[in-house]
Amino acid sequence: MLGDRERQRRLERLARATEAAKKVLKKGDRLTITKCPGTKRWIIFGHWEGDEIISASGRREYAAINVSRVNGERVDFTRPSSRDRLPVASGWGVG
């Protein structure tokens, strides 16, 4: 069971990842997502529904914390500053 401190850290990490992803993701982006139990799959980004990523098919919802690639480029939305993790040439900059 998680303690209060660990639970709070995980919630902050998820919030940071969601905020960073909302600045970057555009409809039609191809995302690589990790789902339980560690299975990687790709989806096409459709839209946001609150803090959840909805695929273009509308069938599933995903958390930004589980995105590892956007259009083939490695990303880590969980870092406090992902600027170095995102392809700057394409205009991405998440601070």
Q: What is the mean pLDDT of residues 29-33?
A: 97
Measured distance CA(70)–CA(21) in Å, rounded: 10
Triad 27, 30, 32: Cα angle to 5°: 130
Q: How confident is the model at residue 31 (pLDDT cuts 50, 70, 90)?
A: very high
pLDDT above 70: percentage of residues in the chain: 83
Q: What is the mean pLDDT of residues 12-23?
A: 94
Neighbours of 43 (CB within 10 A): 20
More confident site: 72 or 81? 72
Q: What is the mean pLDDT of residues 69-85?
A: 79
Q: What is the mean pLDDT of residues 2-27?
A: 93
pTM: 0.77
Q: What are phi and psi of 44, to 5 degrees?
A: -100, 125
What was the pLDDT predicted at 80?
67
Long-range CB contacts for residues 46-50, cutoff 8 Å, separation at least 24: 48/22
pLDDT tens column, 38-68:
899 999 999 999 999 999 999 888 999 999 9
